[in-house]
Amino acid sequence: MTKPVAREPLRRNSRANRERILATARQELGRNPDVTLEELARAAGVVRRTLFGHFPGREALLEALAEEASEALRSALTEGTAFAETVPAERAFAGFVFSLWPVGDRYRLLLALARRDLGVQRVAEVLAPARATATAILERGQRDGVFHTHLPAEAMSGGLEAMTVALLESVNDGLLEDDGTRVAVSLLIAAGVPEERAKSVVEAVAPAFEAEPDASDD
């Protein structure tokens, strides 16, 4: 009797290919929004047929990237929101920055592709939870007198978002090295917190968002 073919190794290989394609797409599209699917396949080390087997076209690939970014942002916001509920607004905003910084490349890529590929509305849907969280923290800080009030909180949130993306570009271009600390300080200053106060707030918040050491390193 013929034994059934083991499917699990094939499924694992398929998942690995899909993840590699998405990771390559994030990197290459960040460098060149006009990169073709054929070029992405070569960069990912897969044949064209494999890429098209997972993503029938550019639209399908970009939607997968949008959903991946959405999941990463939701996960990051869960951590940041739990922290924000227990601390003053200025610390809450620093924590918000630290929680999102690890997924910053996905965030930047979405904004870069918003107008020409995914559409502004789709990107707005993905980013809505992050924008709402930032706006709520800024509103609280304005009421508490720690953030300036010459801009509405929603407008200030949009401006700080644009500043974050610009700083991400600086990191990607090798002009800035940062783990989120310098960006958090800069955004707090832009929101109206004095520089020395911003530095002390970020220094106090940073340990809550440091990665735990890998047990395998023991």
pLDDT value of position 44? 92
pLDDT value of position 218? 43
DSSP of 7-30, one letter per residue? -HHHHHHHHHHHHHHHHHHHHHHH
**47 backbone dihedrals φ, ψ, rounded to 5°:** -80, 160
pLDDT value of position 77? 81
**Domains located in the chain, CATH noted:** 7-56 (1.10.10), 60-210 (1.10.357.10)
pLDDT value of position 65? 86
CA 118 to centroid of chain Cα atoms: 16
Pair 50, 76: CB distance under 8 Å: no
pLDDT value of position 79? 72
Q: What is the SS3 assignment for 177?
A: coil
DSSP of 32-74, one letter per residue? -TT--HHHHHHHHT--HHHHHHH-SSHHHHHHHHHHHHHHHHH
* Integer CA distances (angstroms), 30 to 68, 111, 197, in order: 15, 10, 34
**For the residues 51-65, what does the mean pLDDT come to?**
89
* Integer CA distances (angstroms), 140 to 80, 127, 143, in order: 15, 20, 5
**For the residues 128-148, what does the mean pLDDT come to?**
93
